[in-house]
Structure 1
Amino acid sequence: MKWGILGAAKIARTGLAPAMQVARETELVALATRDPTRAAPFEALVPGLRVHSSYEALLDDPEIEAVYIPLPNHLHLDWSIRAAETGKHVLCEKPIALDARDFDALISTRDTTGKLITEAFMVAHHPQWVLVRDLLAEGVIGPLEHVEGVFTYTNRDRVNIRHSAEMGGGGLRDVGVYPCITTRLATGAEPERLRADIRWQNGVDSFARVWADFPAFTLSFYCGMMQARRQHMLFHGQDGWIALSAPFSGVVYGDCRVEWQQNGDTRSRSFNTANQYALMLENFARSARDNTPFPCPLEFSRGNQAMIDAIFASADP
């Protein structure tokens, strides 16, 4: 599958573009950026890369079959729809929309054009989450009682889009989505009630604590973008627990390991060689080519955005 990237964002430069060099059936052929100097790292990675000076020009490139969209959050919805309408498959960074109601337009566009439109939740493709889902389904830790999560990092760059309310910034949309999606992914359950305390800075959430009631268990997590870097997920059952040392960014944290305890017996499995970005690209190409189910379709993404919407709505003003 021949890819183009809309914009020279950091996640494209450090995550997806390198993954495109190792993923099967994947070739990066073009980049669109309005600043030619930002194309240099991509050109070093892919000699002969075509660089378009506008997003429209890239969408008009007949060789490109799929586009990856890592633009500022508030641009994701419009450019995803525009790309599909020009005949491209679409892999868009999260959040693909800022409101769950916007998914009606995305799903309609996908179904009308016949093009795959998906949100780039790379964790849905990581084998450690397949293991966690299987352990829970097999009842290894007994009935699940509680899930606990953490995802924080430090971003003090005030001109960064994550500090812009107008661009859809904030910690919940950036990292808070991950405890939500992985809990839903691993359990197959949806929340019934949500409550949150949110700390606001310049119109965006810089820190949030969230509590969620699911039908048979509870979830609590905190997330933020002005704290020391930390991530963790724990699934606690009546007979044991499952802990993930690097649940969301195994490449960054190095020791990507799932540890679980059953009736006092502890086991673990490491996943340090897994490249979740490459696996996502391979699954995307397979789904687009063979029309097979994608692990994280728009309907699942809509459920996650509905959870984020409810978290914001539940928070004290």
Structure 2
Amino acid sequence: MTRQETLAGSGEPPVRLGVLGASSVARRRTLPAALAAPNVVLAAVASRDREKAERLAAEFGCRAAKDYDAVLASPDVDAVYLPLPAALHRRWTLAALAAGKHVLVEKPMATDVAETAELLAAAASRGLVIRQNLTYPHHGQHAAVRDLVRAGRIGSLVEFQSAFCIPSLPAADIRHRPELGGGALLDVGVYPISAARFFLGDDLEVAGAVLRWDDEYGVDAGGSVLLRSAGGRTATLSFGFEHGYGARYLLWGGSGRISVDRVFTPPEWLRPVVRVEEQDRVEEIVLPADHQFRNSLSAFADAVLATRRTGADPEREAHAASALGLAQLLADIAAKAQRVPATRGA
């Protein structure tokens, strides 16, 4: 009995997923997560490199399609996952929606606000689900931290600090190519910026920003941002391709601090440690391990299944508002940032 038959036999048929592209994140994180998600089954994968598609298909137990269009034309594909460069998201998301497929698209959903709005409107007009695959909010540690803040463990939240930085990339990496939507802001900057919205709310404005510009590639290699809320709370954020690896945040309140490390891409086996510092007291809370890539896929599939049952995406408006708000904030940062030379640190 196949895995698909087992899932279908236990209740509602799973979402049959086609994959357009064979990126590193797809192979390392998303496709293994699809095998672990209870409501998803991999149906097909396509790549510009047919041999790469065939290797992935053999590794993950699905078929290799001839090309992207063949996946979109497949009657055994309900939804598609797009791990393509950001500048290609619009073209292939619109093509997938036109083919009647639900879409899970890698972050950012598109390279600007107008394209993001266009994709959301196209999905809504066809009654299809669209989500951007920003996986970290699907890890349980962030809700646990937010619960601690709401419970008053650090008093009133005043300041949020966060960074996501990675080492220098190879020269041929697509994130160095402006025509493909490259640059640190759209790649790693999305994480701390969206995390600030998660903890401080959606009314954040840009108080200041710096982008470190790499003239050789024509993209930003890193940056720092200061955001403010209408209530006076602030977020200080850093990101880039010029650093030793780091992914963390700190929430500072009137009577204490909460800090967590490895917050954006933790492996599924990692048990996060939440450090709570209060007056004369430090507590370290060890949380359960969680699988944010599996959870993100499952949440997307749940929305597809709900739409299949009712004819409407029950969380469409909330997710659309979130995607548009993030796109607008990213655009505001890019527009207002001062440019300084990249460091090219080794």
Mapping for residues 66-215 of structure 1, pairs under 5 Å: 66-201=79-214, 202-215=217-230
Matched, 1:306 2:328: yes
1:12-55 CA deviation, whole Å, 9 max, x = no partner? Answer: 100100001111111111001121221244234323x2111211
Q: CA deviation at 1:231?
A: 1.3
The partner residue of 1:237 within 253, 256, 272 is 253
Bigger drift between 246-255 and 146-155 goes to 246-255
Return 5+ residue gaps in structure 1 as ranges: none
The partner residue of 2:67 within 51, 54, 71 is 54
CA–CA separation in structure 2 for the residues paired with 1:295 and 1:105: 14
Bigger drift between 36-45 and 6-15 goes to 36-45
1:239-292 CA deviation, whole Å, 9 max, x = no partner? Answer: 111111111011189453222234443333334621100011111111121143
TM-score (norm 2): 0.86
Matched, 1:22 2:36: yes
1:157-206 CA deviation, whole Å, 9 max, x = no partner? Answer: 11111001111101111111111111211232421233111111121111
CA–CA separation in structure 2 for the residues paired with 1:250 and 1:127: 11
CA–CA separation in structure 2 for the residues paired with 1:31 and 1:276: 22
Q: CA deviation at 1:137?
A: 2.5
Bigger drift between 282-291 and 170-179 goes to 282-291
Amino acid across the alignment from 1:15? R
Change in Cα spacing, 1:155 to 1:41, as seen in structure 2 (3 Å) is farther
CA–CA separation in structure 2 for the residues paired with 1:256 and 1:299: 29
Amino acid across the alignment from 1:229? Y
Change in Cα spacing, 1:227 to 1:118, as seen in structure 2 (3 Å) is same
Change in Cα spacing, 1:186 to 1:104, as seen in structure 2 (3 Å) is same
Identity of aligned residues (%): 30
Asked if 2 retains the 8 angstrom alpha-carbon contact of 1:69 and 1:93, the reply is: yes
Q: CA deviation at 1:84?
A: 1.4
Asked if 2 retains the 8 angstrom alpha-carbon contact of 1:171 and 1:205, the reply is: yes
TM-score (norm 1): 0.94
Asked if 2 retains the 8 angstrom alpha-carbon contact of 1:250 and 1:272, the reply is: no
Asked if 2 retains the 8 angstrom alpha-carbon contact of 1:83 and 1:90, the reply is: yes
The runs of at least 4 consecutive aligned structure 1 residues that moved more than 4 Å come to: 252-255
Asked if 1 retains the 8 angstrom alpha-carbon contact of 2:202 and 2:325, the reply is: no
Bigger drift between 289-298 and 107-116 goes to 289-298
Asked if 2 retains the 8 angstrom alpha-carbon contact of 1:121 and 1:296, the reply is: no
Matched, 1:287 2:303: yes
Bigger drift between 13-22 and 290-299 goes to 290-299
Asked if 2 retains the 8 angstrom alpha-carbon contact of 1:246 and 1:255, the reply is: no
Amino acid across the alignment from 1:70? P
Asked if 1 retains the 8 angstrom alpha-carbon contact of 2:54 and 2:63, the reply is: no
CA–CA separation in structure 1 for the residues paired with 2:37 and 2:101: 19
Change in Cα spacing, 1:41 to 1:191, as seen in structure 2 (3 Å) is same
What residue number does 1:225 align with?
241
Q: CA deviation at 1:107?
A: 2.0
Amino acid across the alignment from 1:93? E
